[in-house]
Chains A and B, each alone.
Chain A
């Protein structure tokens, strides 16, 4: 591997001096060397992934080169939206004022555990990525946001930061911040609002964070997994990154796989892998699967019958109206009552509204109420038509995408679970309604061990 820049062959060369040999083009990548218990120490991290990034402040060329590398690697955000990382970095770097980096590890999605896993097992990889991203855009401040309820993750991150503080050459200093819990609190603008001293609620109006965010500076907000990938791309180069995955969705990603499985947990997969191969890696399913939810509670249900054909990439899931989102793959067993489960989650989503927009407050409540009535059997008239009407009234009428996500969740459920919904509307509750709920919510989150 050559170091530094070479103008003719610069494109696919990594920019860092590695002491470890280049890894094979296979998995695991992020999860390479993850210890069975606790977090990877700084020593273990260096042994596994190689030297730390250079710390020369004025190395503008290598900073700009990193953004080029990320662009060639085709890294997209891992927080759900998949926005091209290089484009975001360039926009923020070109903004007015000194940029600042914010990394989002709040993970408000109850069905997702990947961000927590990264913090608790690979804090140094995360910190590398944050430092690299900050230097690349000319920021000298970075804030890592952790959910206020994430005790272990916060401690692991704090310890890792302390370890680095004792040694020279680690900059910029990374600050840890505790963010409020809440489904919408992890939204980019909500996080920025909180850091500016306001409520952790999404904002209505421009400017957007990349223009004016924390302390009115251009702010780069990224999911914690995205910066972890940056730490590896800087070491091994974009060509290596692209050896896995697809042309339009390259690389690997972390997926939280849960439901009736032998070994549910966080897995690293390459885009384009089949769902079946992932299920095999997790030891297979323990019951038959009624349906699978992709993307989380703002995502889409797909009928279990399609399971064998499903491939883990947004392009392949698009015809089903689904996307991977923040890497959530949630299986619902045949033993559960899909109506009760959907109604329960919808009620929770309604409660998670930031309470800023009338249509969201009233509409989501009405949706939850309708589903609850269907579940009990007390629904009047055509509940399905009511759900459709409410969905149209609520969609895109909020300041953020929260109501849209709930609508997607409910309408796909109405589609996939049409039969069960009709049965409940006619006959009321079924035996499965009384079962322990399967879909995880913060009040009853079952611990899922990382793979």
Chain B
């Protein structure tokens, strides 16, 4: 589901597990990323704020 909600940064491997593009998120994608993280059934995804 996360790949559906954030296709810009998440792809699925051949077994359906997410492959994450770890580049920093532009502002407009942050809310989508949070939604993707909340949708995960096992809460395996985290949206982190990184200090420069």
Contacts and interface: CB of A to CB of B under 8 A. Distances in A.
Q: Please say whether the chains A and B touch (CB closer than 8 A).
A: yes
B16 A393 contact: no
A96 interface: no
Interface in A316-366: 358-359, 362-363
Contacts, number: 15
A358 B42 CA distance: 12
A90 interface: no
B16 A358 contact: yes
Contacts of B19: 393, 397
15 contacts: A358-B15, A358-B16, A358-B17, A359-B13, A359-B15, A359-B17, A362-B14, A362-B15, A362-B17, A363-B15, A393-B13, A393-B14, A393-B19, A397-B17, A397-B19
Contacts of A397: 17, 19
Contacts of B17: 358-359, 362, 397
A143 B14 CA distance: 43
Contacts of A363: 15
Contacts of B14: 362, 393
A363 B14 CA distance: 9
Contacts of A359: 13, 15, 17
Nearest to A359: B17
Give the 4 A-B residue pairs with the shortest CB-CB distance, closest first.
A358-B17, A362-B15, A393-B13, A359-B17
A358 B19 CA distance: 12
Contacts of A362: 14-15, 17
A403 to B, nearest CB: 12
Interface in A377-395: 393
